[in-house]
Structure 1
Amino acid sequence: MQQWLVIDLEATTEEGGWPLEEMEIIEIGASLVDNSGHELDHFQRLIKPQRRPQLTPFCRELTHIDQTSINGAASLPQVWAQFEPWLQAHQEQLVGWASWGDYDRRHLQQEWQQHGLRSALQQLPHLNLKQAFSDARQLPRPVGLKKALQLAGLSFHGQQHRALGDARNTARLLPLVLPAKG
């Protein structure tokens, strides 16, 4: 059975946004799914940012992640030391990983480089599900996750801007862009 890993990240930011280089991951959510989008397993952790450990009011409001939770979280290298064994346990069936847009892939690559981390994800193909959905639906331009779900006749489940919830909702769109088995 083929499996996909759908990843979503939440990161430090301010209203109006920060350049990627200034953002730090504060949450990772990963949903392991089959080709039909059915979840088989998941991984979720909060991550304590190192350069700017104090979340902005905008970031706290957007993500609903409170400062106390972030203060008690582990660093990215510590969380990655938990993520990789979890990923390795599923790697044999994994055909690739996906995210809504290219931001998550680019941010992971930046953080891996900054922290000197390696990942099994680096050996797997990445699917930009936002672009694939836009192409499959022949949209004039890509849309946000909530709008894509609406176009697919689905409603958003859970809390927006929380990594695992966003990953799970993204995974629900995966079967709509994968080639049909014949």
Structure 2
Amino acid sequence: MGHWLVIDLEATTEEGGWPIEEMEIIEIGASMVNAQGHEIDHFQRFVRPLRRPHLTRFCRDLTHISQTDVDSAGPLSEIWPHFERWLSQHHPRLIGWASWGEYDRRQLEQDWRLQQLSSHLSTLSHLNLKKTFAQARKLQQPVGLHTALQLSGINFSGQQHRALSDARNTARLLPMVLPIQS
């Protein structure tokens, strides 16, 4: 049976948002799920931003990630190989990877390029679950993760805007929009 990887990233930001080119990953959360959508493994790490090492108050309040969390973490160039080692044990059974929207894929691809990192994910298809959910539910426009969960009769579990909680909650929607094949 195949597995799906659901990834969520938290990144540096300010009220009103920054262009993706200025954002840096500060947390990686990933949930590996089986054909029934149940988590079989997970990965979570903080990442120290290099260009703007001090988190804005808005970013700290939104994510509940402290300055100490990122100061004590390694930069992405150190953390990403840990992720790839974790991923490699699941790679033979991996069908693809998903995220809520395009942001996570675009941020990863940008940072892989900037830091000259490679990833098994680049060889797999990416599923934009936000778009797929809107199509499956025949919604006029895509909705946020919290709203999608509510429409599905699911309560958000964990802390919003934390990478692993968001990845796990996104994974709960995967079987509803995509008949996962074994």
Give yes or no for TM over 0.5: yes
Aligned residues: 182
Structure 2, unmatched stretches of 5+, are none
RMSD, aligned α-carbons: 1.1
Q: Is the 8 A contact 2:14 2:59 kept in 1?
A: yes
Which secondary structure state, in structure 2, belongs to the residue aligned with residue 6 of structure 1?
strand
User: What is the match of residue 5 of structure 1?
Assistant: 5
User: What is the match of residue 109 of structure 1?
Assistant: 109
Partner Cα separation in structure 2 for residue 42 and residue 181 of structure 1: 21
Partner Cα separation in structure 2 for residue 59 and residue 125 of structure 1: 30
Q: Is the 8 A contact 1:6 1:31 kept in 2?
A: yes
Give the structure-1-normalised TM-score: 0.98
User: What is the match of residue 14 of structure 2?
Assistant: 14
Q: Is the 8 A contact 1:35 1:178 kept in 2?
A: no
Partner Cα separation in structure 1 for residue 119 and residue 141 of structure 2: 31
Correspondences of 1:16-31 after superposition (within 5 Å): 16-31=16-31
Tell me the percent identity. 64
Which secondary structure state, in structure 2, belongs to the residue aligned with residue 31 of structure 1?
strand
User: What is the match of residue 72 of structure 2?
Assistant: 72
- Amino acid in the other structure paired with 1:87: L
User: What is the match of residue 158 of structure 1?
Assistant: 158
Which secondary structure state, in structure 1, belongs to the residue aligned with residue 61 of structure 2?
helix
- Amino acid in the other structure paired with 2:20: L
Partner Cα separation in structure 2 for residue 34 and residue 136 of structure 1: 21
Q: Is the 8 A contact 2:3 2:95 kept in 1?
A: yes
